[in-house]
Structure 1
């Protein structure tokens, strides 16, 4: 998937645990873990805003677009 979620990177920079972030954002540990591992298919803007507030960062610090290589074999 070309969208990479860097929540774990920002958590490490802020020295914040999964438990602490889950409590601050008011999200379950399971849902935060799904987001952190990049398995989430979507995120609500309200959740993204809460994570940005808790981690004192911008959405671009958490989400990154990485283009997939073009399939040149035909």
Structure 2
């Protein structure tokens, strides 16, 4: 039973670690004046908290999007 609980926790730990990294990385970009931004029409994603919440809620979409936008931000 212990191994099942551990196996179930691994994806959760990885998710939370990646969300924390996105928040810290986006904050560092903001501090340097090179904010990580994405906009499509009237939708704009910017700011560390928005990126982190996006990754937390819909990781499959926001994590790759963040990585692409991060590269463009410099």
When normalised by structure 2's length, the TM-score is: 0.37
Higher relative contact order structure (alpha carbons within 8 Å, sequence separation ≥ 6): 1
The answer to which structure has the higher helix fraction is 2
